[in-house]
Structure formats: structure tokens, C-alpha cells
Amino acid sequence: MRKLLTLIAFAAIAGILLLSSAATGRPAGQDQVQPVGTTGAAGDHRNLAGFDAQIRANADRMLEEGRQIFRFDTFGDEAYWGDQLQLHRAVVGAKLGGVGPGLSPKMALSLGLKVDADALPPDLVTAIKAGNVDLDDPASTVALLKARAVVGVSAFLNPDGSARSVGIQCALCHSTVDDSFAPGIGHRLDGWPNRDLNVGEIVALAPNLKPLTDLLGVDDPAVRKVLKSWGPGRYDAELNQDGKAAGPKGRSAATVLPAAFGLAGVNLHTYSGWGAVPYWNAYVANTQMHGKGTFFDPRLKDKDRFPVAAKAGYADVRNTPDLITPKLAALQYYQLSIPPPAPPAGSFDAQSAQRGKSVFESQAKCSTCHVPPIFSEPGWSMHKADEIGIDEFQSDRSPDKRYRTTPLRGLFVRAKGGFYHDGRFPTLAAVVDHYNDHLKLNLNAQQKADLIEFLKSL
């Protein structure tokens, strides 16, 4: 009797599960996963409880903290840019207690510095629109700095309002603006590389380059010549590791500023794969921005490959207090949250792009390395120079001596200054022609045109 009741019970349960399966359209026992953090009732985080609610709260906190760090945190680097290089003195000029003519807003914009329109006080907005702000006066630049409106730059002021130091942030190189107010003035576009920014010319304004001359072992004119050779949208993040100022054929060793968007799911961050996003943030904050933190990379002890780094002790940097490490998690979270921007409407031929997608995934073999949807390779996405048909100068400057497969989303943002790490290919057509020749793809004119339109659509 007991066995009979057990069988009846099992049969009843099975019947209920079958009915449930039929009603939901999925196999019994496979509960539908409810999305979290999306739009609609299913993703309404207000209904979360317990540890799920803690996860959501932590995500919200990290996102906002990361944004503030990315935009406004100097990590204490004003001790270098202001106290040592005295860059702020060149910005304010002799009339305001500094040196030289000063940096006017017109000159600042010509050097690629950007202004956050949302940070401008209403009275300043009114004055600019009325033409009552002297854009040739460094005092107007100081006013913008006081308003925290210069993207990626912070002024540190004395009680009387004069500048005593200056620091920089991640946003200096990796944000721009949409020019909605005026050229160079608009809403922030975080993660977009500022391909107008002439980092070298700005650094060369500093009255005291002795920290750089001592580090590199060359005189002041030589350092200034190298800095001025970079040009807009370029920076050399390895100069103070290996001391190499020029690449093949005498061209500058600087690389084009990379995008900081679309990095979610992408392992390595740089053109030559030094490390992932948190590695590179620590590397830049400590060794390039010259903030006060902790950084460890024993690879930089190699005196043959990285003589300047070995001399400077960059393989093991320790500062107390550490103003960088506690901020790396939130900074990474924010950067991974920045999506690749969609190309502007009408900027590509949709039908041609659809055909180009087929070329991308078949004859052109692009998707072998640029795997959708991240358009890089999951895992260790590194290749030797001969695999991609270029010289090994830049790859040999990195520990692994390889190039990373760069993600392709938002290519339109990176068109200015050229493609590849050094901008050697001025157009997408030049990139396609290079691979067509190097890999012997035998693409015809129509296939190449369609492939270009697909790349423009990403």
C-alpha cells in the first residue's frame, strides 16, 4: 500500500511539472533567470533584498566613485606637475605671479585642452556668450580652473586665489567633449581619446624639466625636442622606462592615445599588452601621472630592456600614504562600464555594411582575431609583429614583445590621428589594403568597400 501511495505521489508531481513546462514553454526545472539592473519590472532593483541588494548598492557606489576618480582625482600628482615641474607657473603667467606670457583659453584650446560646459557657472556662461570673456587673457584660464571646468586638470590655489600647484587626472587624455557649446567646449565624453591634446607641448611649457633631464640623462633642450615631436593626440608611456625617443625611420616613438571605452570582456588594455585595465591604471597613475601609490612589476628590473625604469626604481614603487591603490577597483569598474559609442546616423551605408559583415567573417578572416561581440580575442590576445605585417619596434618595448588585438567598437572616434598604435594607417581603406596584401586575401574592390562600411558601423 505504501509503495502504491508513493507511486501515485510521484505521478502527481510529474504531472504538475509537465503542465508547468507546457505553460512556460521551457523544460521543467529550468527556472527563467530574471535580469538584474535592466529596464522593466523584471530588472527593477527596488525589489532586491538580502545580498542581492548589497550587490546592487555596491555596483551603484563603485560606478559613481569610479566616475569621480576618473574625472577629478590627481592621486597626489600635483607634487610632481606643480611642486617639481612648476607647470602652474607657466599656466598663470608672469602677471599673476608665474612665468612667461601664461596660458590663455585660446591657447589652451589650441593645445587640445577641453572645457566641461556643465561645470561653467551661469554667470560665466552668460559672459562667454556675450563676448565679455577675454579668451587671450590667462586670468580667464584661471577662472575656468577655479570652476573645475578644464577637463583633466586641477588647480590648487592659495588663500588669495593665486595658483600654488596643478595636477592632472585620467580624463586629461581619455575624455573629450561634444563641442555643443563651442569648439572644445561641451558635455564630457568619458573614455573617448582626446586626439586633439598635445601632451608634449603642454609639458614643454613647464619652467623646470630637471626631474625629466635627470631621469633620462639628457639636457633640457633634448627633452623639450622630444616632447614637441609627439604632436596632437600622442603620448609615449614607455619613454621613462626604456629611454627610446624615436622609432624606425626617425619617427617619434609616441603612440596615439587609446580609447578607454568598450573594454568590458577585453583582457589586455594597451597596444602591446603590458597588462589588464587595473594593471595599466596602476602603471599610469604611479609612473606616468606620478601620483603617490604602490606599483609592483619585477619585469622593469631588467636593466638591458628597461634601463630608465631600473634606475628610477619603477619595478617597486611604495608611497605612504597610498593615494592610488584604494581607488583602483572603482576606477576599473567605471571604465568597464563605459560602452563603445554608436557611430553617428548616416555615417555608413547600412546595406554595404551588411555585406561587409559577411566578408569580415569569411574571406577577410577578420573575425578570427576580432571575435564578436568584443572584437578582440578572449584570452591572451597577443601576436608577433610578423603575424600582422608590421615592424616590431613598439612590441619590443613591452615585456611580451607582442601586439594586442585591439577591440574595434567605436572606430569612428579613433579616426583622427590614424589607426594602429602609431597612427601609421591614415584611413580604414589603408588598413584593409595592408591586410589584403599581407594575408593575400584577394579581396576585390567591392568586398573591400563593403568591409570598410562594416568597420564604420561598429
Residue 262 falls inside a structural domain:
no
Co-location of 161 and 232 in the same domain: no
In a domain, 319, yes or no: no
Domain co-membership, 143 together with 182: yes
The secondary element (H helix, E strand) that includes residue 234 is: strand 234-235
Cα 412 from chain centre: 15
Is 36 inside a domain boundary?
Answer: no
339-348 b/e (C-beta count within 10 Å ≥ 16 → b): ebbebeeeeb
- Residue 248, pLDDT score: 86
Flag whether 445 is in a domain. Answer: yes
Residue 21 domain-assigned? no
Indicate whether 184 belongs to any domain: yes
90 and 192 within one domain = yes
Q: For the chain, give the mean pLDDT.
A: 91
Do the Cβ atoms of 28 and 21 come closer than 8 Å? yes
Q: Pick the last residue of a domain from 165, 197, 229.
A: 197
Mean pLDDT of 29-54: 59
Dist CA 206 CA 221 (whole Å):
13
Question: What span, in angstroms and rounded, lies between the C-alpha atoms of 198 and 231?
Answer: 6
In this structure, the answer to whether residues 103 and 146 fall within a common structural domain is yes
Q: What is the mean pLDDT of residues 211-222?
A: 97
Q: Are residues 139 and 218 in the same domain?
A: no
Q: What is the DSSP letter of 309?
A: H
Query: Both 166 and 224 in a single domain?
Result: no
Calpha distance 309→280 (Å, rounded): 16
Can you give the residue range of the structural domain that contains 238?
209-256
The pLDDT value given to residue 16:
38
Residues 216 and 186 in one domain: no
Same domain, 191 and 113: yes
Indicate if 190 and 227 belong to the same structural domain: no
- What tens digit of pLDDT does each residue of 386-409 get? 999 999 999 999 999 999 999 999
Q: How confident is the model at residue 157 (pLDDT cuts 50, 70, 90)?
A: confident
| Final residue in a domain of this structure, among 197, 228, 245 | 197
φ and ψ at residue 234, rounded to 5 degrees: -130, 150
- Residue 293, pLDDT score: 98
Q: Convert the pLDDT of each residue in 291-338 to its tens digit.
A: 999 999 999 999 999 999 999 999 999 999 999 999 999 999 999 999
Do residues 153 and 181 share a domain? Answer: yes
Q: Predicted confidence band at 163 (pLDDT cuts at 50, 70, 90)?
A: confident
CATH of the domain at 407: 1.10.760.10
Percent of the chain whose pLDDT exceeds 70: 90
Task: Give all strands (DSSP E) within 309-404, no chain letters.
Answer: 316-317, 382-383, 403-404
Q: Single out the residue in 163, 197, 231 at which a domain terminates.
A: 197
Total domain count, the chain: 3
Residues 380 and 435 in one domain: yes
End-to-end alpha carbon distance in the chain: 68
Q: State the pLDDT at residue 358.
A: 98
pLDDT tens digits, 102-125: 999 999 999 999 999 999 999 999
- Establish if 375 belongs to a structural domain: yes
Average pLDDT over residues 126-149: 94
> Can you give the pLDDT at residue 44?
61
Specify burial of residue 71 (Cβ count, 10 A radius: 0-12, 13-18, 19+).
buried
Mean pLDDT score, 151-177: 94
pLDDT in the model for residue 118? 97
**Residue 143 domain flag:** yes
pLDDT of residue 160: 80
Are residues 444 and 411 part of one domain? yes
- How much is the pLDDT for 159? 84
The average pLDDT across 248-260 equals 94
User: Does the pLDDT of residue 39 top 70, yes or no?
Assistant: no
